């Protein structure tokens, strides 16, 4: 399966693209994604929908990381937490996924 996060596997189930008829540039993309992990005979599957909007092509963009995101867990860390919950080494209330 394409795309890996530690012991988890990620796959894009389908994608939809919206193209501007005047510029032929993509203005929106929607992906349905599945992430699957398995540990000790138990598997967890997470599905998510990711929507991206595109605009202001060829314009300068300044990106700044929001203060609250500076200490955020990575996707790999969150998946490891899920695996630890499966292995009973971490209680679900100790896992904060927002």
pLDDT on residue 1: 38
Cα separation, 26 vs 83, in Å, equals 37
**pTM to 2 decimal places:** 0.54
Cα separation, 43 vs 36, in Å, equals 7
Contact 71, 27 (CB under 8 A): no
pLDDT on residue 2: 45
pLDDT on residue 14: 94
pLDDT on residue 53: 97
**Half-sphere exposure in the Cβ direction for 41 (13 Å, CA):** 0
User: pLDDT in tens for each of the 98 residues of the chain?
Assistant: 344 445 778 899 999 999 999 999 999 999 999 988 876 677 888 899 999 999 999 999 899 999 988 888 888 888 787 777 767 665 555 555 55
Cα separation, 30 vs 59, in Å, equals 23
């Amino acid at each position: 399966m394409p795309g890996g996060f530690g012991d988890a596997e990620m796959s894009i189930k389908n994608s939809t693209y919206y193209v501007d008829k005047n510029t032929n540039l993509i203005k929106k993309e929607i992906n349905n994604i599945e992430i699957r992990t398995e540990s000790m005979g138990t598997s967890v599957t997470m599905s998510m929908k990711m929507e991206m909007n595109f605009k202001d092509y060829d314009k300068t963009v300044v990106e700044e990381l929001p203060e609250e995101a500076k200490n955020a867990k990575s996707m790999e860390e969150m998946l490891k937490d899920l695996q630890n919950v499966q292995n009973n080494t971490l209680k679900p209330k100790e896992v904060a996924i927002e």
